[in-house]
Amino acid sequence: MLRFRKYLLAILLLIIQISFCFLFGFHARYVYAPVSSVKNLTFSAVSIVEYYYPMFMDIHVMMFVGFGFLMTFLYRYSYSAIAFNFVLCAFTFEWALLMRGYFFNWDTNGQQFAIDIKSLITSDYVAASILISMGAVLGKVNPFQLILMAFCEVPVQVVNEWIGRTFFCANDAGESIFVHLFGAYFGLAVMFVLFRSDMLDSPHQKSRYTSDIFSMIGTIFLFCFWPSFNAANTAGPERLRAVINTCVSICSSVLGTFIASSLVRRGKLDIVHVQSATLAGGVAVGTVAASNIGLHGALIIGTLAGFVSTLGFYSVLPKLEVIRIHDTCGVHNLHGIPGLMSGIAGIIVASIPEKSGFQDHLTVLCLTGGLQRSSNIQVAYQAAAVGLTLIVAIAGGLFTGVLLRLPLFSQESQYFDDKVHWHIPKPEHTISLKM
């Protein structure tokens, strides 16, 4: 059995690729949308591919480079952090194309779904949710468990967002509710089930000067491209507001982080805070990024997010271990709390129709009012989307954690160490010649 377990990852990926080949072959088709599909386009005509592709590539870099390097802070786990991020993101991208195709774009007449450039963007959003969950379990699961977790999580995430967008018609331009909030609490729920007390005693759960520098590379990449993440699925004036609001908010979260870190660390700074909490403004403004919240609103949201996230890393993160949650990357503080803040901001802004612009996104499928929905009803459904996301994420995470804990799949009791999964080059010994 032990010998067979070594090949579980290869077998699983091979079966998945063969299955995907048939599903894409029978059910997927290309679609080219003319420029008229882009609303409020005021500059020279380009196709929808050129309009969305630059921001898609920004998000793609965030997924493969930003998230990958952000997780390299563990000095004995850098191979696994960046490479498992690589394969998990690639698998999730394919799986999300299929799942979103079946739920969002299925053509009952042709028995197919269309794939266009926006499908690639939304698949990267799904990948972001899974990578956030990965941050909670990093170093404590094997690659087979990561793929299995993603296989379970993608359908749950897609169904939750399908309900939230199609029937609740909740506004979430930057995916802070459906991606960040969902991914954080799904991952924490998985970790709750997988928790073992010996995880707390691992001698390898620490960083070094060089590993923290590499992690900061991921931070800077995510920081620079976050406006594209929040604005990619918008157009016209909404895209303008999304870009500007995100830039202001995420810069403000940097300042909020430095203020809070200096205060709690008694005049000095903590690199852990700077690596993660500085990005909280991008998450916290996401839901209302395309709304007319004003630059002062974006600044307030970002500053508060950076401050609160830093306090979370300093005081909340250690306390989670008391309730059997070992959060390796602090996703609760970077994605969970700021995602909840963003959901609350969405509820508040929805009560002001001229600011939120929710009427532009209503359809006949929207529950309770359809195209004529009032602001009070919209407030209720924004809150319902947040509540549903938390319930579905936690329930789905608990179920997935039980599956991952089965003896056949479980991780060896050696955490945060690349030697478990990789051939490590032997260190080179240098000889100093004394004269």
Decide: 154 and 100 in contact? Cβ < 8 Å.
no
The CA distance from 102 to 108, in Å, is: 10
Statement: the pTM of the whole predicted model exceeds 0.85: yes
Residue listed under structure tokens 């306390």? 319
How many Cα atoms are found within 13 Å in the side-chain-facing hemisphere of 80? 26
Longest dimension (CA), the chain: 88
Q: How confident is the model at residue 310, as a pLDDT?
A: 97
- Please give the Cα distance from 89 to 66 (Å, whole number): 12
Query: What sign does the CA torsion over 255, 335, 54, 213 have?
Result: positive
Q: What's the pLDDT band for 432 if we cut at 50, 70, 90?
A: low
Stronger pLDDT, 49 or 94, i.e. the higher one = 94
Residue with tokens 């003896």: 407
Percent of the chain with pLDDT over 70: 93
Does the pLDDT at position 2 exceed 60? Answer: no
Report which of 269, 210, 222, 278 is spatially closest to residue 73, judged by C-alpha positions.
210
**Residue 43: predicted pLDDT:** 46
> For the residues 115-122, what does the mean pLDDT come to?
94
The answer, yes or no, to whether residue 41 has pLDDT greater than 60, is: no
Q: Return d(Cα 189, Cα 427) in angstroms, integer.
A: 38
Average pLDDT score over residue span 18-45? 74
Instruction: Tell me the pLDDT of the chain averaged across its residues.
Output: 92
- The lowest-confidence range among 44-48, 191-195, 401-405, 429-433 is 429-433
User: How is the beta sheet containing 106-107 ordered, strand by strand?
Assistant: 28-30, 112-115, 106-107
E-assigned strands of 237-308? Answer: none
**List of residues 6+ apart from 356 with CB closer than 8 A:** 171, 288, 291, 292, 346, 349, 350, 375, 378
Give the 3-state secondary structure of residue 106: strand
Q: What band does 414 get if pLDDT is binned at 50, 70 and 90?
A: confident
Residue from 60, 57, 63 nearest 130 by CA: 63
For residue 90, give every residue at least 6 positions away whose Cβ sits within 8 Å of its Cβ, in sequence order, or none: none
pLDDT higher than threshold 90 for residue 413? no
List the chain domain ranges.
2-31+49-410
Distance CA 99, CA 110 (A): 17
Mean pLDDT, residues 368-374 taken together? 91
Closest alpha carbon to 130 in 151, 105, 106? 151
Radius of gyration of the chain measured on its C-alpha atoms: 22
| Rounded Cα–Cα distance for residues 96 and 111 (Å) | 18
Mean pLDDT of 127-152: 96
pLDDT of amino acid 1: 53
* Distant-in-sequence, close-in-space partners of 301: CB < 8 Å, separation ≥ 6: 249, 252, 281, 284, 285, 288, 293, 341, 342, 345
Q: How many residues does the chain have?
A: 435
**d(C-alpha 184, C-alpha 332), whole Å:** 6
Task: Check: CB of residue 182 under 8 Å from CB of residue 393.
Answer: yes
Which of 284, 286, 285, 259 is CA-nearest to residue 273? 259
Which token pair is 400?
């997935």
Give pLDDT tens digits for 282-337.
999 999 999 999 999 999 999 999 999 999 999 999 899 999 999 999 999 999 99
> 258 near 106, Cβ under 8 Å?
no
The structural architecture, per CATH, of the domain 2-31+49-410 is Orthogonal Bundle (1.10)
**Is 80 exceeded by the pLDDT of residue 33?**
no
Dig out the tokens for 154 from the structure: 């993608």
Return d(Cα 313, Cα 329) in angstroms, integer.
10
Q: pLDDT digits over 207-257, tens only?
A: 999 999 999 999 999 999 999 999 999 999 999 999 999 999 999 999 999
Q: What separation in angstroms does the CA of 433 have from each of 252, 427, 428, 430?
A: 53, 19, 16, 10
What separation, in Å, do the N-terminal and C-terminal C-alpha atoms of the chain show?
57
pLDDT value for 202: 84
Residue 192 clears pLDDT 50, i.e. is over it: yes
Contact residues for 167 (Cβ-Cβ < 8 A; gap 6+): 365, 366, 367
149 confidence band (pLDDT: 50, 70, 90): very high
| Per-residue confidence band for 70, with pLDDT thresholds at 50, 70 and 90 | very high
- Are the CB atoms for 334 and 187 separated by under 8 Å? no
Q: Identify which has the larger pLDDT, 429 or 222.
A: 222
What confidence category does residue 198 fall into, taking pLDDT thresholds of 50, 70 and 90? confident
pLDDT score recorded for residue 45: 46
pLDDT in the model for residue 40: 54
